[in-house]
């Protein structure tokens, strides 16, 4: 029976960081407690934080854009389109039944 072996992605670039001795000690201790290398802990932690930050930013950006569109729709003085009027009338008839 064949066994599937999953290859780790090729790591083709590096990151460097300068930290205080105290921070290095804490990071090393944390990595040891997790059974991870310092490098793996740093990459994992930085990646998790970065992806969460990007997601939060995208949600805020979409929320801001949606809020602006909603406010614009509320203050708009344009007459509703014929399609909107017909759709509204159909909906009103449906809920009366």
Residue 14 in any domain: the answer is no
In a domain, 11, yes or no: no
CA distance between the termini of the chain: 65
User: Which structural domain range is residue 81 located in?
Assistant: 21-96
Write down the pLDDT at residue 66. 85
- Dihedral pair phi/psi, residue 66, rounded to 5°: -65, -40
Q: 55: left (phi > 0), else alpha (psi -120 to 50), else beta?
A: alpha
The reply to whether 5 falls in a domain is no
What sections of the chain are H helices per DSSP? 21-34, 38-75, 82-96
**15 in any annotated domain:** no
Whether the per-residue pLDDT at 2 is higher than 70: the answer is no
- Residue 6: which pLDDT band, with cuts at 50, 70 and 90? low
Distance of CA 53 to the CA centre of its chain: 7
What's the half-sphere exposure (Cβ side, CA atoms, 13 Å) at 4?
Answer: 2
Give the pLDDT confidence of 28-64 residue by residue, as tens digits: 999 999 999 999 999 999 999 999 999 998 887 878 8
- What is the tally of structural domains in the chain? 1
For residue range 54-97, list pLDDT tens digits in order. Answer: 999 888 787 888 888 888 888 887 888 899 999 999 999 998 87
Answer yes or no: is 8 within a domain. no
Structural domain contains residue 2: no
On average, the pLDDT of the chain sits at 89
């Amino acid at each position: 029976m064949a066994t599937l072996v999953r290859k780790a992605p090729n790591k083709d670039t590096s990151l460097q960081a300068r930290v205080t001795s105290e921070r290095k000690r804490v990071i090393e201790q944390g990595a040891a407690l997790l059974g991870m290398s310092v490098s793996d802990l740093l990459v994992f932690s930085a990646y998790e934080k970065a992806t969460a930050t990007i997601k939060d930013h995208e949600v805020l950006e979409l929320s801001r854009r949606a809020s602006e569109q909603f406010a614009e729709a509320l203050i708009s003085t344009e007459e509703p389109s014929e399609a909107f009027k017909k759709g509204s009338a159909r909906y009103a008839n449906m809920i009366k039944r």
